[in-house]
Structure 1
Amino acid sequence: MSAQPELHITVAGTERAVAAGTTAGQALEADGRKVVAAKVNGELRDLYRELADGDAVEPVEIGSEDGRAILRHSTAHILAQAVQELFPEAKLGIGPPVENGFYYDFDVAEPFTPADLKAIEKKMQEIIKQGQRFQRREVSDDGARAELATEPYKLELIGLKGGASDAEGASVEVGAGGLTVYDNIHPRTGELCWKDLCRGPHLPTTKVVPAFKLMRTAAAYWRGKETNPQLQRIYGTAWETKDALKEYLAFLEEAEKRDHRKLGAELDLFSIPDEIGSGLAVFHPKGGVVRREMEDYSRKRHEEAGYEFVYTPHATKGRLFEKSGHLDWYADGMYPPMQLDGGIDYYLKPMNCPMHNLIFDARGRSYRELPLRLFEFGTVYRYEKSGVVHGLTRARGFTQDDAHIYCTKEQMADELDSLLTFVLDLLRDYGLNDFYLELSTKDPEKSIGSDEVWAEATETLRQAAEKQGLELVMDPGGAAFYGPKISVQARDAIGRTWQMSTIQVDFNLPERFDLEYTAADGTRQRPVMIHRALFGSIERFFAVLLEHYAGAFPAWLAPVQAVGIPIAAEHVPHLDEVARRLRAEGIRVEVDAGDDRMQKKIRNAQKQKVPFMLLAGDDDVSKGAVSFRYRDGSQNNGVPIDEAVREIVEAVRDRK
């Protein structure tokens, strides 16, 4: 009797011999709950896929990044199955995993209601309880078209196979190779319950989904194009344990409390009036105080660091952006032109760098002037699609704290090093201190300039980043068309990541603008240009800080830094005198002399998140004192006025 053929494989780094026909799940001894998929030669696969000789197999646990993506994609399939069972006329779009969850798009006659979501969630729970198997099979293009003849969006994806990179999420459905369909099979009857065009992999069965929740619905254009049909999108989330889901929902609840749009209205900081337009904010007096403090401190630090302030107009002839290349690469993000002066196109500026180049080029420059650091709070305008505009964090009009540094190649490394240190130190001054760095490299399809120039710029940026001792994450192909960049990613008080400062090395715009300086030997040389936005935009940074502090700004940024609260009307003059002394020290202080009772005044001040409440009654007046009440509810009674003034002034000036 001949011996059964053996395969020589590597399992989690250990070489093993197994029988032919062994599956990835068998080799990993996976129970299908903790280990839900396999990585075979670096490719994610279902556990039931058979191995070949020489394969290297690694486990994919459900709580890993890959495992969560597979869990969420599988749950998206369960969602789509539930929808079609409840709404048979629904046509399928796509259903990819996304950060912290998943979604699926449907073409239905009417938008889904909250009651519909409850019914869909209940049906999903029934499907999960059944333990239907996810079963992969390969199909031809014609076979897929025949099977999915009633699904017009799937038919379109089949036609995009191999060229689906422009389709939002299409790569989730269609791979570059052959087509695959996943069947949902009933575990007892073997009956086909549902199927979908999909690249996979998936969980072994629906029963493996430990915890999920449907979150909300939204309208979404098919493949993200406004000229395509509008579909209904259902968002959900899925996690490896019920505790993980509970923790995530608690995080969302906290994030909702911190939403800058909600806080902006509650604290009377800013608004976005319909009469002005989407993505175009106005700052109210209290918001204006915070913004002015942010800007003034930034100006002071920039002046100390040797920056020179410039100002540029809001609009320019289109020829400037033809010269810079922005009309070739960025036109979709710009407002349409205005035709003036006999048909000349004028544009609202989407960025400041071309105008800064003109300032550099306004007269001859010497190497003795370099590095030349130009800085501007420059308002720019970008035509964001209505679906992505989001309060102050994604706006159509905003002010960049924009700097452009012109230096020699020899100065570039030191300048990047000091610049990155400056950026991180200034962000720390505003209360952010948990960072990592991201290095974005060249996209060969969307870039100008030689590979050699890009390689030099990228390596110099990498070395500057590594000197900071922070985690460095690569972003292949994520650079702007003119040069690589470092992005400072900051985590806020509840762990969310925000992209803050960007630093970009640019050898190309100086070339396009023919910028030159006179070197020490008398020759004409080309400067290196470094683009740098520290906050990104004032508006967005304002929103990030507002959410980071949940509206309770540190004393130096608070719109009102102290409020006097009298126990009775006769105590108002005492607090007016305290306020006078505080104002003399530059403190923003108010005295609440209204008719409300003291407890109501305290609640009002707490809602406005005022750092210091100064209470005064008969005892305080007789002793020449005030009683402190802080934002955390603690009190310090009978503090002499001199000490009270000193405490507040020190807190504000020390930025604590």
Structure 2
Amino acid sequence: MSEITITLPDGSSRTLPEGATIFDAAASIGAGLAKAAIAGKVDGQLVDVAAVVPDRAKVEIITEKSPEALEIIRHSTSHLMAQAVKELFPDAKVTIGPAIETGFYYDFDVQKPFSPEDLEKIERKMAELASANLKIERQVLSKAEALELFGRMGEIYKVELIEDLPAETVSVYRQGSFVDLCRGPHLPSTSWCKAFKVTSIAGAYWRGDEKRKMLQRVYGTAFIDKKELDAYLMRLEEAKRRDHRKLGRELDLFSFSDEVGAGLVIWHPKGAMLRTVLEDFERKEHFRRGYDIVLGPQILKTELWQRSGHYENYRENMYFTEVDEQSYGVKPMNCLSHMMIYKSQLRSYRDLPLRFFELGTVHRHERAGVLHGLLRVRGFTQDDAHILCTPEQLDEEIKGVISFVNDVMGIFGFEYEMELSTRPEKSIGSDEDWERATNALLGALRDTGRPFEINEGDGAFYGPKIDIKLRDALDRRWQCATIQCDFTLPERFDLTYIDAGGEKKRPVMVHRVILGAIERFIGVLIEHYAGSFPVWLSPVQAIVLTVTDAQQPFAEEVFQQLRQLGIRVQKDFRNEKLGFKIREAQLQKIPYMLVIGNQEVESATVTPRQRDGQNLPAMKIDQFCEHIEKEVRSFH
């Protein structure tokens, strides 16, 4: 019998019979490894355990301890869920079911929407199919065979997918009576699906197209063992408790209205105050770092958007209007106005760098299906800035922005990760400019000494970018800050400066945000703090409470004094029991409750009670203000 030779990750080699599989390779190393194998890698490509290994291949055995294991488990569990749905609802048509960061989902076309009770039935059926230990087998079919198979089954969505595939062959996976179109790889059998949960349901358009049919998207999650699943489900419950949409209503911060329009935020007094505090903080921090505040119009002529490349590359996300027979684009970004400010006069190298900062409100067309509270809206405000500098200043400016991000994230208590997003398929500018921009970002990142990832092909259409993803209290990742390096738009808008030799040169432009969209960042903050904002950020820092009506005159004096001293204060003088008023203030997550009884009236003091229930000693009003100011200073 002919033999093959394979190389293992440690550099050692094994000789196997021709036709040997990943399982055979694992068995040649040890029986324990063969038993633990769930997939393999052949020359870096993930494959099933039943895949035949070619001669001279580099082979790696994938077990539950491998980094790739969780995605394979989740992908296979999505197929398990689809099989359960088909057995319970035979008329259901299956579409696509990928693994995602938090688990998996599968979209189904069903006559009647799923109910919560249906989800419980699906999960029970999944457990039954998993315990049946059904073998999962891969089969390669010609395109014609696959079309005939799924056509016969009435799976019209699979037929559409196959018709769109350029390949002449496709792979399908079978487990029991269920068959699905898929690249794989998958687990060896359904018994490897040991810890899963069907979590929720939502609507989703077929292929994300609002003109296509609305499907039922069933979400689930899966883990290697039940302990990890239970820990995740606990985090999920905590995330529901912290949901910014729920807390936004309870704390009376903001609302949405169908009468106004989807994705458009209405800020209530406390929410608007929270925004104001955050924006004032932003202005102060930008002033400290040498930024000039600017403001641009909401609409600009369409010709400008055509010159910038937005019309060609970003048009589907923009809104347009017409004024006096002239076409205008509602701005989705602030960069054009900032370039106009730069062009308004002759610039010298001595003027640079120029840092233009704008809390600029922009509008972008987001599909209805992706709108999500404050986290994905159609109208929002960015803490947007554009730095125009010489190429020689670029490295220092990029590092300055990274330092700015680091300082601000520290104030809010966020850890963060960084990644470099490179040139996308749809882009403008020369190869040379893209290389210069990418190298500038890369060099600055390396100099920070912090780890970062490369995110191929996800840059802006005009330049590469550093994306900063913060981690919140539940260890979730949120994209907020970004730093984009752009040689292209200064070229398109003919931006110049006079260098030391009297010659015209082209500046470089850095597009950057620190918090990103203010709306999105506030949504993240609400969930990060579970609505219990630190004192410096709280829209209401204190509330004055009376024990009886007799204390109202003094309590009103206290309220007015605190307001005059700059404390964000409310009052509750209702004829209610003190315990009831305290509980309401605690539910509103107000940091301090100032209880006014007869003793406080006689001594002209206040007795602060913290929202965690701890009482502070009685103190004069100016002492309480000093206490608040000291706490505010401790944050920034």
Q: What is the TM-score of this pair, normalised by structure 1?
A: 0.92
- 1:22 has 2:24 as partner: no
Deviations 1:142-171 (A, max 9, x none): 221222222222122222223xxxxxxxxx
Shift of 1:566: 2.7
Shift of 1:5: 4.0
Shift of 1:423: 2.5
What's the counterpart of residue 508 of structure 1?
488
Identity of aligned residues (%): 47
Kept in 1, the 8 Å contact 2:195–2:229? The answer is: yes
Selected match of 2:85 from 67, 83, 86 = 83
Q: Which runs of 5+ in 2 are unaligned?
A: none
The one-letter code matched in structure 1 to 2:379 is: G
Once residues 364 and 227 of structure 1 are traced to their aligned partners in structure 2, the CA distance between those partners, rounded to angstroms, is 50
What's the counterpart of residue 571 of structure 2?
591
Kept in 1, the 8 Å contact 2:545–2:578? The answer is: yes
Once residues 17 and 311 of structure 1 are traced to their aligned partners in structure 2, the CA distance between those partners, rounded to angstroms, is 68
Selected match of 2:324 from 341, 361, 379 = 341
Cα gap change, 1:73 to 1:158, in 2 (>3 Å) = same
Q: What is the TM-score of this pair, normalised by structure 2?
A: 0.95
Once residues 372 and 633 of structure 1 are traced to their aligned partners in structure 2, the CA distance between those partners, rounded to angstroms, is 49
What's the counterpart of residue 553 of structure 1?
533
What's the counterpart of residue 324 of structure 1?
308
SS of 1:498's equivalent in the other structure is strand
Once residues 310 and 14 of structure 1 are traced to their aligned partners in structure 2, the CA distance between those partners, rounded to angstroms, is 60
Shift of 1:586: 1.3
Q: How many residues align?
A: 629
Once residues 10 and 593 of structure 1 are traced to their aligned partners in structure 2, the CA distance between those partners, rounded to angstroms, is 79
Selected match of 2:106 from 89, 104, 107 = 104
What's the counterpart of residue 567 of structure 1?
547
Cα gap change, 1:643 to 1:326, in 2 (>3 Å) = same
Shift of 1:639: 4.3
What's the counterpart of residue 54 of structure 2?
52
Once residues 282 and 509 of structure 1 are traced to their aligned partners in structure 2, the CA distance between those partners, rounded to angstroms, is 34
* Map 1:600-611 → 2, pairs under 5 A: 600-611=580-591
Selected match of 2:172 from 181, 184, 188 = 181
Selected match of 2:355 from 373, 376, 390 = 373
Selected match of 2:272 from 288, 302, 325 = 288
Once residues 468 and 186 of structure 2 are traced to their aligned partners in structure 1, the CA distance between those partners, rounded to angstroms, is 35
Once residues 537 and 383 of structure 2 are traced to their aligned partners in structure 1, the CA distance between those partners, rounded to angstroms, is 18
Once residues 352 and 643 of structure 1 are traced to their aligned partners in structure 2, the CA distance between those partners, rounded to angstroms, is 44
Kept in 1, the 8 Å contact 2:309–2:428? The answer is: no
Deviations 1:96-152 (A, max 9, x none): 111111111222222222222222222212111110000112111122122222222
SS of 1:51's equivalent in the other structure is coil
SS of 1:180's equivalent in the other structure is strand
Selected match of 2:138 from 136, 139, 152 = 136
Shift of 1:34: 4.7
- 1:427 has 2:430 as partner: no
* Map 1:133-282 → 2, pairs under 5 A: 133-149=135-151, 150-162=154-166, 178-185=169-176, 193-282=177-266
Once residues 270 and 32 of structure 1 are traced to their aligned partners in structure 2, the CA distance between those partners, rounded to angstroms, is 56
Comparing 488-497 and 16-25, the one that deviates more: 16-25
Selected match of 2:10 from 10, 13, 19 = 13
Deviations 1:228-280 (A, max 9, x none): 33322211111111111111111111111111111111111111122210111
Cα gap change, 1:245 to 1:177, in 2 (>3 Å) = farther
- 1:396 has 2:387 as partner: no
SS of 1:553's equivalent in the other structure is coil
Once residues 469 and 41 of structure 1 are traced to their aligned partners in structure 2, the CA distance between those partners, rounded to angstroms, is 31
Q: Which runs of 5+ in 1 are unaligned?
A: 163-175, 186-192
Comparing 614-623 and 489-498, the one that deviates more: 614-623
The one-letter code matched in structure 2 to 1:178 is: T
- 1:439 has 2:420 as partner: yes
SS of 2:369's equivalent in the other structure is coil
Kept in 1, the 8 Å contact 2:349–2:499? The answer is: yes
Kept in 1, the 8 Å contact 2:40–2:49? The answer is: yes
CA-based RMSD of the aligned residues comes to 1.9
Shift of 1:14: 4.5
